[in-house]
Amino acid sequence: MQKRQITIIENFEETKFCTKKRANYSQKVEISLALRIDLMYNERMSKTYFNNRDAENIEKIDRILENDLPDFCREYFVGISANTTTLTRLNYAYDIRTFFKYMCTKIPRFKSKNVKEIAPVDIESLSPFEIEAYLSYVEIYKDKDGNVIKNGDRGKSRKLAAIRSMVKYFEKKQIIRYNPTASVDTPKLHEKEIIRLDSDEISTMLDVVDTGMGLSERQQRYQENTRIRDLAMVSLFLGTGIRVSELVGIDMDDVNFDDLSFVVTRKGGARVILYFSEEVAGYLYDYYRMRQADPDLKNEPALFLSLQKKRITTRAVENIIKKYSAVATPLKHITPHKLRSTFGTQLYRNTGDIYVVADVLGHKDVNTTKRHYAAITEDIRRNASTRISLRDKPEDN
């Protein structure tokens, strides 16, 4: 069978061509797309995936505030709501809940109190050592259900950031005068090696999705029913570098095959237009047409559906990628984010422009992109050294 792979961008000239092409398209489709997005928001405000997700997150935060956090914490969560996503606030709520539980069970002078009785003055009384002892505690502990939770340096850093954010908020409001987290060092983070697929592995991955080769008999039976959908998802990951949350949030109305574009909701809720190649369009249109032809799904806005004909979940997508990659690249732990890294790597190798990569991947800070793809810079430097000639080459007679 002939190997197939997703072509990203072959050279920088093509990148510039794509940019010009998009500029031409923007004059024609900017108004229609803006109107279409407005209609999606106005007509289906309560039905969209991201609005439902935000509503669920807010409900979870309210339950934690009601049952598991001191009453004064509500002011903090209201105060940061304008500048944070619901998911960020929910994760903060989980981490702060763990911290207060630690205070009431592990610090002797607070053992006579329950969490609801903790006051700002109690936080003010903590020492930097007690904060450091908490970070040591969360390396490995049991949650309220008895599950063992482990945290490396990144996990401890996030937990410290949650406490520090809350204390700084009340310090700014002059409710707390002493900040015990100020002199606590953030755990040193070690950069992880970026795991990505090479060109041959991309081809193998697509072949596994397409043919089911290497899967178990049970997996092959499922693959027969999901092949077209899975090819569309994997090609969209590899050809556009979108996040898994962005993929599951795509609706049917978000895709435009006229100019090979689609709308995604980025982190923070921003709606942006991205583009896909004709190669990706082939896989995507096969699924789109099949999805559109099912009369039972006329009222389901989601593009990618589970076998239960509901919007597919991020966990389901992660398991699908894990299933295929275990066959295609058994020595690499491939996730949707690794497919995103694969796209970013190929785009950077072929353009050498870190700002293009940052824009397409949706990184707000280009330094984030630089950290992720710094290892590739050496290849680009080596390649650049061959582009300069000191003398004109003699012409053939």
Where in the chain are the domains? 12-43+193-385, 54-172
CA distance 274 to 263: 6
Which residues does residue 263 pair with via DSSP β-bridges, in sequence order? 273
Which segments of the chain does DSSP mark as H helices, in order? 12-43, 49-67, 73-79, 86-106, 120-124, 128-137, 153-172, 199-211, 217-240, 244-248, 278-293, 314-328, 336-351, 354-361, 366-373, 377-385
- Mean pLDDT computed over every residue of the chain: 83
Can you give the pLDDT at residue 96? 97
- Rounded to 5 degrees, φ, ψ at 76 are -60, -45
Least confident stretch, 147-156, 276-285, 386-395: 386-395
CB 284 within 8 Å of CB 324: no
Res 364 pLDDT > 90:
no
pLDDT tens for 51-68 read: 888 899 999 999 999 999
More confident residue, 270 or 98: 98
Structure tokens at 76: 């903090």
pLDDT tens for 157-187 read: 999 999 999 999 999 999 999 999 999 999 8
Can you give the pLDDT at residue 42? 39
pLDDT band at residue 389 using 50, 70 and 90 as cut-offs: low
Q: What is the mean pLDDT of residues 36-41?
A: 44
Can you give the pLDDT at residue 195? 81
Can you give the pLDDT at residue 19? 40
Res 39 pLDDT > 50:
no
CB 124 within 8 Å of CB 166: no
Res 13 pLDDT > 60:
no
CA distance 325 to 337: 13
pLDDT tens for 23-36 read: 443 443 343 444 34
Can you give the pLDDT at residue 347? 82
More confident residue, 366 or 377: 366
pLDDT tens for 190-225 read: 766 778 888 899 999 999 999 999 999 999 988 889
Residue whose token pair is 């928001």: 41
CB 102 within 8 Å of CB 75: no
CA distance 295 to 315: 27
pLDDT band at residue 376 using 50, 70 and 90 as cut-offs: low
CA distance 377 to 195: 16
CA distance 222 to 218: 7
H or E element, residue 274: strand 271-275
The reported pTM is 0.68
Q: What is the mean pLDDT of residues 14-42?
A: 41
Q: Which fold has domain 12-43+193-385?
A: hpI Integrase; Chain A (1.10.443)
CA distance 227 to 340: 21
Alpha-carbon Rg for the chain in angstroms: 25
Can you give the pLDDT at residue 383? 62
pLDDT tens for 146-156 read: 889 899 988 99
pLDDT band at residue 16 using 50, 70 and 90 as cut-offs: very low
pLDDT band at residue 362 using 50, 70 and 90 as cut-offs: confident
Q: What is the mean pLDDT of residues 347-360?
A: 80
CB 341 within 8 Å of CB 331: no
Q: Which strands, in side-by-side order, build the sheet including 271-275? A: 255-256, 261-265, 271-275
3-class state of residue 220 by DSSP: helix
CB 6 within 8 Å of CB 197: no
Structure tokens at 358: 């940052």
Side chain identity at 298, as an amino acid letter? Answer: K
Helix 336-351 vs helix 314-328: crossing angle, to nearest 10 = 70
pLDDT band at residue 145 using 50, 70 and 90 as cut-offs: confident
DSSP state of 251: B
Can you give the pLDDT at residue 266? 84
